[in-house]
Amino acid sequence: MLAICPDSFMRDYWQKKPCVLRAALPDFNDLLDENELAGLAMEPELDSRIVRFHNNQWSMIQGPFEEFSACEGKWTLLVQGVDKYLDDASELMSQFNFIPNWRVDDLMISYAVEGAGVGPHVDQYDVFLVQGKGSRRWRVGPPKSSVARPPAAGLCQVEPFEPIIDCELSSGDILYIPPGWPHDGSTIVSALTYSIGFRAPDQAQLAGYLAEHMQSAESLPARYTDPALPATEAPVSINRNEITQLKTLLHNAIDDNAFTFTLLKLLSEQGLEPEPVDADMLTKQLQQHIDNGGLIIKHPGCRPILCDDYTGWCFVNGEAIEFAQVNHPVMRNLMAKSTISRADMTLAPDDLDIFCTFARLINMGYWGYR
Ligand code: SIN
Ligand code: CO
């Protein structure tokens, strides 16, 4: 269990300043070892890379790997999106359930040998660096203090900085770093680091979402009109009113409820590969399974979202799934759980609908049963 107070952390540190959370995960057990991490780095579905400092030179080699001869000098192997492939990652990720699902990006795991690190750099996302086995020295500098200095293709390092945090982490310690704060970790004893990263769309990405919505069937784009346009003597001019009218068209598209619905779908997109399903599960079969003591299990890495302004809808990996509106509060609770048993369902106003919805989610490959 995470030994911090989520309320105080969010109030004092989240998106504000970095902090060291000593022994925040007491008795932390590594999810894997370096050999298993290397196994994951061989999978084509996972994004992996080796960053090394060897013969006085930095280099980055992109995975997937067939063998590991690149592990020379001071090297770090980093594998991203591990939360979707490792059942055991669910428990670690659930420690951060005090931050909404839609903000969570992924779990990256790195293994670094003594003296290694990826060099000073800045990330555009919030990150919790959970120290696994081994130990590392982390230095964090003030935001905007860094100037980009890429030492090799694919490596976004920054100039060395004056640290405001200089600490040594051992197993179970966590370092939280908000976006934009330069940081640098060097390895004291060969180490596993678990980075829980968060995402926050920028304006360009949101504009992309709007463009995607405008091209979808749900949208009927309105066009600029000017029936009251007077004859002009200055054909090169466009006036402030015309620009305001153009921007109003865009504002109206953004304010349209249909766009909100698309936005919710897009925010739930995770690039999850649904689990293959042998045969469709029927509502009745699922009900029997649960009544006989069975469980419904969320697949690793699946992070659904619900919005209280859209009761009776859940959004999973870019898809919208409808259920009975009366079940919204219960579904908010059930969908946050990694496993669901009969006891969890006792307060459902319409439990047939709950079974029907989860049977659908099982058939879609996002939940399973045991
Ligand atoms: C690492 O695990 O070495 C890199 C993590 C980070 O700085 O984001
Ligand atoms: Co970083």
CATH number at residue 129: 2.60.120.650
Dist. CA 176 → ligand 2 center (Å): 10
Q: What residue owns the CA closest to ligand 1's atom 2?
A: 110
Ligand 1 atom closest to 136 (CA): 3
The predicted model gives 112-127 an average pLDDT of: 96
The predicted model gives 93-111 an average pLDDT of: 97
Is 273 inside a domain boundary? no
Residues 13 and 130 in one domain: yes
d(CA 128, CA 79): 16
pLDDT tier at 156, thresholds 50, 70, 90: confident
Residues 263 and 147 in one domain: no
Residues 172 and 301 in one domain: no
Residues 214 and 143 in one domain: no
The range of the structural domain enclosing residue 337 comes to 283-369
- The string of DSSP letters for 309-361 reads TSTTEEEETTEEEE--GGGHHHHHHHTT-SEE-GGGGTT-S-HHHHHHHHHHH
Domain count of the fold of the chain: 3
Residue 346 has pLDDT above 80, yes or no: no
Residues 118 and 259 in one domain: no
Torsion of CA 172, 178, 180, 184, to 10 degrees: -10
Residue 348 has pLDDT above 80, yes or no: no
Residue 146 has pLDDT above 80, yes or no: no
Dist. CA 116 → ligand 1 center (Å): 11
Residues 170 and 315 in one domain: no
**pLDDT tens per residue, range 7-41:** 999 999 999 999 999 999 999 999 999 999 999 99
Counting ligand 1 atoms within 8 A of each CB, the residue from 52, 129, 137, 183 with the most, and so the one to mutate, is 129
Residues 61 and 93 in one domain: yes
Ligand 1 atom closest to 197 (CA): 8
Residues 289 and 351 in one domain: yes
Residues 145 and 91 in one domain: yes
Residues 87 and 132 in one domain: yes
Is 143 inside a domain boundary? yes
Residues 319 and 208 in one domain: no
Residues 263 and 309 in one domain: no
Instruction: Name the more confident of 355 and 151.
Output: 355
Q: For ligand 1, is residue 134 a contact (CB within 6 Å)?
A: no
Global pTM? 0.94
Is 232 inside a domain boundary? no
Is 238 inside a domain boundary? no
Q: For ligand 1, is residue 48 a contact (CB within 6 Å)?
A: no
Dist. CA 362 → ligand 1 center (Å): 35
Q: What residue owns the CA closest to ligand 1's atom 4?
A: 118
Is 225 inside a domain boundary? no
Q: For ligand 1, is residue 127 a contact (CB within 6 Å)?
A: yes
Is 231 inside a domain boundary? no
